[in-house]
């Protein structure tokens, strides 16, 4: 089979590489010529574990190629996947569909030029609001004969940081396709997953589109729920780690997405929750839970700066704060909507100097947070710093030398917004320790009024 993937970002590039691994001939297309040139040289434009090896193997095998020319890429393709960005539209939170519609127009024009007997399934893999598939179909119909294509929705559930594993072993594949012909093409493409008994769900297009938003909104709600429980734990002296474990062991609840932290970020949850709220408002449906999740999460990220300032005794003016981790989660270089973008400018505005290190995110962070001093590794970050803030739970921050931290920091206080460490081990190492939803250990400093 032959496919084209439009957009070689986190989703398009991973999907294209994984389909080529399935034995499909894949051409990845992007309007960003610099990105395509890098991919043609074998350089990855993003950090995703295992991606460079997968791309290299399939490029060398002749199954995967990269181009900025859309028309030749879709000539004779069984399916074209649209995997371009759908960021929040400025002002109203609706998904900005301009990239999707621009791609659909280009695809339509190119399909109209291809073989008269050709047939291609045009698949939206981007996360798009309910109704977008129908709009894509009407854009295509304006330029291309009806029998030349079908439209399908195939939302993607991969997570950055484990994207290849997620694509190769998903919990399910959701396909919104309404003609037998389109369903057959999609079934053939995903045959390797069908063979390993991955549940395949065929629905209408609207349902497939909504499944993606409902999934993300539910996960965002779960995180926000445990974050609010963490706040309650701090007030009443309970331990949120144990509360999360205690409820998560209940099979009806499940343990995943119950890690209290600084609030969710990333390229999907914030914008997808906002877009779902917009969809509900336009449909005059009540989605007050998700509306509240967005508000609570936004406020939480801002409040984390206050928590750090309170832990530092009420002021960070003139202090130097070492920060480990800038990306919204580990194993990615993605800085979109990362909590660091909300928290760190507030600390510098309050008079602190921030020194930071992230294993993969600093290239992007330097553009977004120019006021930060960037360091080459974890311990260098702590040199001449007063306190340490752990902001992203990269594995390399999970086993830091606590004695060395104590020697490097002036105070020495560790504020752990990801609950990587145990309060008892920090106390044993002589470090004051403030985390999320657990009683603080304040060593020599004594208990502050409120953290």
Task: Give the active site residues.
Answer: 268
- CA-to-CA distance for 243 and 248, rounded, in angstroms? 8
Nearer to ligand NAD, 274 or 346 (CB): 274
Nearer to ligand NAD, 307 or 329 (CB): 329
- The vertex-217 CA angle with 338 and 395, nearest 5°, equals 40
Q: Are 129 and 101 in contact (CB under 8 A)?
A: no
CB closest to ligand NAD, residue no: 9
CB of 216 to ligand NAD, least distance (A): 8
416 — phi, psi (to 5°)? -110, 100
Q: Are 188 and 161 in contact (CB under 8 A)?
A: no
Q: Where does 127-204 have alpha helices with state H?
A: 132-143, 163-168, 180-189, 191-195
- CA-to-CA distance for 104 and 92, rounded, in angstroms? 23
Nearer to ligand NAD, 12 or 359 (CB): 12
Residue carrying the six token digits 């008269």: 116
Q: Are 356 and 397 in contact (CB under 8 A)?
A: no
Nearer to ligand NAD, 84 or 420 (CB): 84
Q: Which residues contact 282 (CB under 8 A, 6 or more apart)?
A: none
CA atoms within 13 A on the CB side of 287: 23
CB atoms within 10 A of CB 194: 14
* Helix (H/G/I), strand (E/B), else coil: 413: strand
Q: Which residues contact 230 (CB under 8 A, 6 or more apart)?
A: 240, 260, 436, 437
Q: Are 200 and 249 in contact (CB under 8 A)?
A: no
Tokens of 111: 């399909």
Work out the widest C-alpha separation in the chain, in whole angstroms: 80
CB of 130 to ligand NAD, least distance (A): 14
CB of 379 to ligand NAD, least distance (A): 31
Q: Are 87 and 98 in contact (CB under 8 A)?
A: no
CB of 328 to ligand NAD, least distance (A): 10
Nearer to ligand NAD, 259 or 319 (CB): 259
CB of 127 to ligand NAD, least distance (A): 4
CA atoms within 13 A on the CB side of 341: 20
CB of 113 to ligand NAD, least distance (A): 17
Tokens of 17: 């590489």
CB of 79 to ligand NAD, least distance (A): 16
DSSP-derived secondary structure for 308-346: HHHHTTS--TT-EEEEE--SSSTT----TT-HHHHHHHH
Residue carrying the six token digits 């900005």: 96
CB of 317 to ligand NAD, least distance (A): 38
Nearer to ligand NAD, 337 or 386 (CB): 337
Cα(first)–Cα(last) distance of the chain, in Å? Answer: 58
Q: Which residues bind ligand NAD (CB under 6 A)?
A: 6-12, 29-32, 35, 83-86, 99, 102-103, 126-127, 156, 158, 160, 267-268
Nearer to ligand NAD, 137 or 413 (CB): 137
């Amino acid at each position: 089979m032959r496919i084209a993937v439009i957009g070689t970002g986190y989703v398009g590039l991973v999907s294209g590489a994984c389909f080529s691994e399935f034995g499909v001939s894949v051409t990845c297309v992007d309007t960003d010529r610099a990105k395509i040139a890098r991919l043609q040289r074998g350089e990855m434009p993003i950090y995703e574990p295992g991606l460079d090896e997968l791309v290299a193997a399939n490029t060398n095998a002749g199954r995967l190629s990269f181009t900025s020319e859309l028309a030749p890429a879709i000539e004779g393709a069984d399916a074209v996947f649209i995997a371009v960005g759908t960021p929040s539209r400025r002002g109203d939170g609706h998904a900005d569909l301009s990239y999707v519609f621009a791609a659909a127009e280009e695809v339509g024009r190119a399909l109209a030029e291809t073989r008269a007997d050709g047939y291609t399934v045009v698949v939206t893999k981007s996360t798009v609001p309910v109704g977008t598939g129908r709009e894509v179909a009407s854009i295509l119909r304006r330029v291309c004969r009806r029998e030349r294509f079908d439209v399908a929705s195939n939302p993607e559930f991969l997570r950055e940081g484990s994207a290849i594993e997620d694509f190769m072993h998903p919990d399910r594949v959701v396909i919104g396709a309404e003609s037998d012909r389109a369903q057959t093409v999609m079934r053939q493409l995903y045959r390797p997953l069908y063979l390993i008994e991955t549940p395949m769900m065929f629905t209408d297009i609207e349902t497939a589109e909504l499944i993606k938003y409902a999934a993300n909104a539910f996960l965002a709600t779960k995180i926000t729920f445990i974050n609010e429980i963490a706040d309650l734990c701090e007030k009443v002296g309970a331990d949120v780690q144990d509360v999360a474990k205690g409820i998560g062991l209940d099979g009806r609840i499940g343990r995943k997405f119950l890690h209290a932290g600084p609030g969710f970020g990333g390229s999907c949850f914030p914008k997808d929750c906002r877009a779902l709220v917009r969809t509900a408002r336009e449909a005059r449906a009540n989605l007050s839970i998700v509306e509240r999740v967005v508000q609570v999460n936004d406020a939480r990220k801002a409040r984390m700066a206050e928590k750090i300032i309170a832990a530092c005794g009420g002021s960070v003016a003139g202090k130097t704060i070492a920060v480990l981790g800038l990306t919204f989660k580990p194993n990615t270089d993605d800085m979109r909507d990362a909590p660091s973008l909300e928290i760190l400018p507030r600390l510098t505005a309050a008079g602190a100097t921030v020194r930071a290190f992230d294993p993969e995110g600093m290239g992007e962070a330097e553009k977004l947070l120019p006021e930060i001093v960037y360091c080459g590794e974890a311990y260098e970050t702590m040199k001449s710093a007063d306190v340490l803030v752990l902001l992203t739970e990269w594995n390399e921050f999970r086993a830091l030398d606590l004695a060395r931290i104590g020697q490097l920091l002036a105070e020495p206080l560790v504020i752990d917004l990801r609950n990587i460490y145990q309060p008892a081990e920090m106390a044993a190492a002589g470090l004051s320790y403030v985390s999320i939803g657990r009683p603080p250990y304040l060593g020599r400093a004594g208990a502050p009024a409120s953290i």
